[in-house]
Amino acid sequence: MAQEQATAAEGRLELRRDVSVWGSFMWGFADVGADTFVALGLVMAAAQGATGLAFALAGLVYIMIGLAYTELASAYPVAGGGPYFALRGLGDFWGFVAGSALLLDYTIDIALFAAASAGYFNFFLPFLFGINIDQFVLDLGPFRQVNPLWCLETLLLIGILIWLNIRGIRESSLVNEVLGAVVIATESSLVILGFLFAWKPELLAQQWTTQFPSLHNFMYGSSLAIISFVGLESISQAAQETKRPATIIPRTSITLIFTVFIFATAFSILGLGLLPWQTFAEHVDNPMAKLAEAIPYLGAIAGPFTAALGAIVLFISANTGVMGASRLTYSMAHYQVISPWFSAVHPRYRTPARTIMVFSVVGAIETVLSFLTPKALDTLGNMYAFGATLGYTMVFIALIKLRFSDPYSPRPYKMPLNVRLKYKGRMVEFPLLGLLGMLGVSTILFEVILTHEIGRIAGPAWVLLCFIYYAWYRRKQGLPIFRSVERSWEKEQMDVLLSAEEFDLLEQYKVALAERDKQRKRDVHANTSA
């Protein structure tokens, strides 16, 4: 226990603060903005004529998730995101639960978006080589409809991402910033041109009235739609590497929330007014390219261009998954949830190279296993939805708890709709929107467990596997399994604000703590006098 726990603060290499306003926004957009390129076909296949409604409902929950992360990441700008918030608010064990759920998400993110990126690249195979990706589908013993070429393409992309992220966040952030600007411009153009020249409201109405799904299919589709909005966690994961996070994070997060919500709902409504939902279901590997091809006059150019765009944006989203997994495990190791071996920083690049390598390899293994099923993207989407909804549920609970247990930390941004309550002699603002968000994301988690055959088995199995490691490690180090290690959160908060150069917030925090201490002394004196 002694050697592993004794991480000397002075000798510890910290992550560098290199991420700017644009970089912070693009870390989030690279992950969240790419999701529609994958989810559109998967959701269409399930929600059918109600796809727009499925995206809208999931989007409303996403907005509340985004506001919760905005508050927490600006108040606690450290690497770790949701698991850190859960650990600080609820304790080590629940921090582990949130961490294992979101770690599943990040490793699936690597596999899912690398596979989807390769899928959009395969759109060009008939033009470049005169072949179709479906020609490589074969049966391998008990495994049916396996596509080894697509799987190998995905593994190659994961290998490139490992190298890119070990080199450092400055290089990988630059990839997001440049390509993200192109993505936003082209997605906007696609929406505008599609509605102007191709959208048929009568087709949308016809599919709504005659192609409405069963309740089971709608629940399945709406729970998959949440993957269109997963990834806001990326901004909080990069908070420890963000310059002036208390100022930057609220701006970038709120902008990102509404940008992605508009794009996701617009594409779902546009798609149902362009083509039958069956067309998208048949092309789950590149649904946005099919949408672009349906635009009159421009389709011959827009289709290939959108396919190229999809390959690019999904690649940088997979890149964000590598970053998220490495920063998440870096934080978990620092707080003794997993071994400090994972927290080692590369002496030259100052990146968590070990975690980048280990969990990218986990993503590669998940890739191979998913391609042994008939529908690789659907399999990965199932797992993605489970990890996201479980982790987000824990974040909402932590947000509510921290309003009561840590009212002294400055919050540059607070979720709206608060009710003032008196708690232990102090007024606390109870977040009604946080409670509503918790109920919303819990409902989606229930839908995932009820309707996703793979998600409800493999998801809990992953958490159980992680728990076995967690229990073994904590027992080996002489640490409690279900209780928390003693920590000086107040000193840590001061160090974090100092490191972030948030001097005004640091001063506010010290004043709040001083007022608390004075009040405690007055209470003790009053009790003694009585």
- pLDDT digit string, tens, across residues 145-170: 888 999 999 999 999 988 888 776 55
Helix (H, G, I), strand (E, B) or coil at 371: coil
Quote the CA–CA distance of 212 and 51 in Å, as a whole number: 9
Query: DSSP letter string over 451-497?
Result: H-TTHHHHHHHHHHHHHHHHHHHHHHTT--SSS-----HHHHHHHHH
Q: What share of the chain is helix, strand, coil (3-state, %, to 5)?
A: 75, 5, 20
Query: Which helix (H) or strand (E) element contains residue 38?
Result: helix 35-47
Angle at 82 between CA 6 and CA 445, to 5 degrees: 135
Q: Which of 265-269, 321-325, 343-347, 401-405 has the lowest mean pLDDT?
A: 343-347
Average pLDDT over residues 476-483: 94
> Is 224:39 a contact under the CB 8 Å cutoff?
yes
Output the CA–CA distances (angstroms, integers) from residue 317 to 46, 107, 221, in the order listed: 24, 12, 22
The distance of Cα 428 from the centroid of its chain, to the nearest Å, equals 29
pLDDT category at 9 given cuts 50, 70, 90 is very low
CA–CA dist 166, 163 (Å, integer): 5
In Å, what is the CA distance from 98 to each residue of 73, 135, 236?
A: 15, 41, 14
The whole-angstrom separation of Cα 312 and Cα 318 is 10
What pLDDT, on the 0 to 100 scale, is given for residue 6? 39
**How far is the C-alpha of 227 from the C-alpha of 225, rounded, in Å?**
5
Helix axes 215-225, 51-75, angle to 10 degrees: 40
AA letter at 469: Y
Confidence of residue 183 (pLDDT cuts 50, 70, 90): confident
3-state secondary structure of 34: coil
Tell me if 351 sits within 8 A of 121, measured CB to CB.
no
How many other β-carbons are positioned within 10 Å of the β-carbon of residue 480? 12
DSSP string, 273-327: TTS-HHHHHHTTTSHHHHHHHTSTTTHHHHHHHHHHHHHHHHHHHHHHHHHHHHH
Residue 327 has pLDDT above 80, yes or no: no
Dump strand ranges (E) for 161-314: none
Eight-state DSSP code of residue 146: E
Between 169-197 and 148-167, two packed helices, what is the crossing angle to 10 degrees? 130
Q: What is the mean pLDDT of residues 95-111?
A: 91
pLDDT band at 252; cut points 50, 70, 90: confident
Q: What is the pLDDT averaged over residues 325-343?
A: 81
**Helix/strand/coil for 147:** coil
Average confidence (pLDDT) over 36-41: 90
pTM for the model stands at: 0.86
| pLDDT at res. 334 | 82
Q: How far are the Cα atoms of 80, 92, 292, 452 from residue 474, in angstroms, in the given order?
A: 19, 11, 52, 32
pLDDT of residue 137: 84
Residue-wise pLDDT for 402-454, tens only, equals: 999 999 999 999 999 999 998 877 889 999 999 999 999 999 999 989 988 88
DSSP structure string for 388-450: HHHHHHHHHHHHHHHHHH--SS--SS--S-EEEEEETTEEEEEEHHHHHHHHHHHHHHHHHHH
Cα distance between residue 369 and residue 527, in whole Å: 65
**Contact by Cβ (8 Å): 454, 108:** no
Q: Output the CA torsion sign for 102, 406, 248, 326.
A: negative
Which range, of 180-184, 232-236, 353-357, 466-470, averages the lowest pLDDT? 232-236
Q: Which residue has the tokens 């908070």?
A: 239
Average pLDDT taken over every residue of the chain: 85
Q: pLDDT for 495-530, tens place per residue? A: 988 888 888 999 999 999 998 888 888 878 777 776
What is residue 355's three-state secondary structure?
A: helix
Highest mean pLDDT among 7-21, 165-179, 267-281: 267-281
Tell me the C-alpha distance between 495 and 489, whole Å.
10
Residue 242 is predicted with a pLDDT of 62
Residue 397 is predicted with a pLDDT of 96
